[in-house]
Structure 1
Amino acid sequence: MGPLGWLLDAQLHVAGSPVLVREIVGNVFGLGSALLGLRRVVWAWPVGMVGNALLLTVFLGGVFVTPQEHDLYGQAGRQVFFFAVSVYGWWRWSRNRRSSGVDGDQPAVAPRWATGRERIGVLLAAVIGTAVAYPVLAALGSWGPLPDAWILTGSLLATYGMARGWVEFWLVWIAVDAVGVPLLLRGGFYPSAAMYLVYGAFCAWGFAAWWRTSRAVRPTRATLPPSYSEVVA
């Protein structure tokens, strides 16, 4: 059995329940991406994409024969969308670095609060996205379609907010985790449920860190050199 075959089939037994090694590894990559995102490092995106690919196979239990045998299409679908949005985030953060001329040790994005218009857009997208995803997931036979619909929608909004550098994206993640933990526990996805708990605490920390950084960055941006102000005027 090669390394890929071992990763697809390997299991551990925790408290008498089988747990896929790839579920653990995928969540470790997800946590690594979150840590790099907290530090605003561009590598947060490709690291997260590896975790997305692994977790896609976990939540399609009927296709990849997982011990839980539950198909969480919302959870699986969000891995695909994560991958796509991560390409955008990777490009945006890389472009920020090039345009600002920062060196390799500097953060790739400056945190800021979303504008009132952007917040309204996020709220509308959350309601509409959940409303649209619910019947689709229910028709596909997803296990727990309503919470799964919010997890899918909220996760995409949080990832997009991270790419834009909005401080509020951490709060969206906390709302996703609050719904995801009980759903995953009931479905028997214990490593993912445990990781959601870790993510929740981590997101609270990340929110505080980005909030502090946004307050420190704002005065610096507000003070423009006289020559530049004259040119703009």
Structure 2
Amino acid sequence: MISPSELAADITYGLSVWLAARNSVHTWWTGIVGCALFAWVFFHTQLYADVTLQGFYIVTSLMGWWHWLHGKNGGQLPVRRTDRWTCVLATVAALLVAAGYGALLHRFTNAYAPFVDSLVLTFSVLGQLLLMGRRVENWYVWLVVDAIAVPLYISRELYLTAGLYAIFWFNAWYGLFSWRRELAR
């Protein structure tokens, strides 16, 4: 059964992600509201890494909101690329942190799927940091996050959230296409 808090979180956060793919600054405030709602949902389903992630999202959403508006010499930050070496190092770091955080959750909590949940956490952090910098590579990271999150959320009977993340996967393809077109201009 879908809880009212899960439904509210899915609608609000879904709007935020849709706005991000359309390169809209309104992605940030809607994301803050959605993250607060998801923190509640994930806490009650023992996905503690996802609760931590929502706190991170709230803080970085405030920063991203400001950065998108004032990030480049006081003007709006443009869409841009990240060099390959930075992407490789960031990916390796995300994998190592996921292993470490997963081990902590496994050892000290009753977390469900601590290692998979930690992968969602660390790659989401990477995706968010790239999104904050209006880096086109953020969409590749979100494709990975969504592919991992869907089965995780299904396993916790968060069917609406799993469906939303499946939609996010398609939205990430749209965002990638849209931002690459923006970059080419």
TM-score range for the pair, normalised by the shorter chain length:
over 0.9
1:54 to 11, 30, 37: 37
In structure 2, how many angstroms separate the alpha carbons of the residues matched to 1:35 and 1:182?
A: 21
- Number of the residue aligned with 2:147: 178
Is the contact between residue 21 and residue 174 of structure 2 (CA under 8 Å) also seen in structure 1? Answer: no
In structure 2, how many angstroms separate the alpha carbons of the residues matched to 1:20 and 1:80?
A: 21
Is the contact between residue 85 and residue 156 of structure 1 (CA under 8 Å) also seen in structure 2? Answer: no
Give yes or no for the alignment of 1:44 onto 2:19: no
2:16 to 6, 15, 33: 33
In structure 2, how many angstroms separate the alpha carbons of the residues matched to 1:137 and 1:83?
A: 22
| Structure 2 segments unaligned to the other structure (5+ residues) | none
TM-superposed CA distance for 1:98, in Å, is 7.4
2:132 to 159, 163, 166: 163
TM-superposed CA distance for 1:200, in Å, is 0.4
* Identity in percent: 27
Amino acid at match of 1:49: I
Is the contact between residue 36 and residue 43 of structure 1 (CA under 8 Å) also seen in structure 2? Answer: yes
TM-superposed CA distance for 1:145, in Å, is 0.8
Is the contact between residue 114 and residue 166 of structure 1 (CA under 8 Å) also seen in structure 2? Answer: yes
- Number of the residue aligned with 1:119: 87
In structure 1, how many angstroms separate the alpha carbons of the residues matched to 2:88 and 2:155?
A: 33
In structure 1, how many angstroms separate the alpha carbons of the residues matched to 2:143 and 2:77?
A: 21
2:112 to 131, 134, 143: 143
| Structure 1 segments unaligned to the other structure (5+ residues) | 1-17, 62-69, 101-107, 217-233
Is the contact between residue 35 and residue 58 of structure 2 (CA under 8 Å) also seen in structure 1? Answer: yes
Which structure: larger Rg?
1
1:71 to 43, 46, 53: 46
- Number of the residue aligned with 1:132: 100
In structure 1, how many angstroms separate the alpha carbons of the residues matched to 2:89 and 2:132?
A: 16
Amino acid at match of 2:30: V
TM-superposed CA distance for 1:57, in Å, is 0.6
- Number of the residue aligned with 2:170: 201
Greater relative contact order structure (CA < 8 Å, 6+ sep) = 2
Deviations 1:82-128 (A, max 9, x none): 1111122112112137722xxxxxxx432111113421332132122
Amino acid at match of 2:95: V
In structure 2, how many angstroms separate the alpha carbons of the residues matched to 1:198 and 1:135?
A: 30
TM-superposed CA distance for 1:162, in Å, is 0.3
In structure 2, how many angstroms separate the alpha carbons of the residues matched to 1:181 and 1:35?
A: 17
Is the contact between residue 22 and residue 175 of structure 2 (CA under 8 Å) also seen in structure 1? Answer: no
Amino acid at match of 1:119: C
Deviations 1:170-225 (A, max 9, x none): 11111011111111111101111010100001101111111111111xxxxxxxxx
SS of equivalent residue, structure 1 residue 141: coil
CA RMSD across the alignment: 1.5
SS of equivalent residue, structure 2 residue 74: helix
Shift in CA distance, 149/129, structure 1 to aligned 2, threshold 3 Å? same
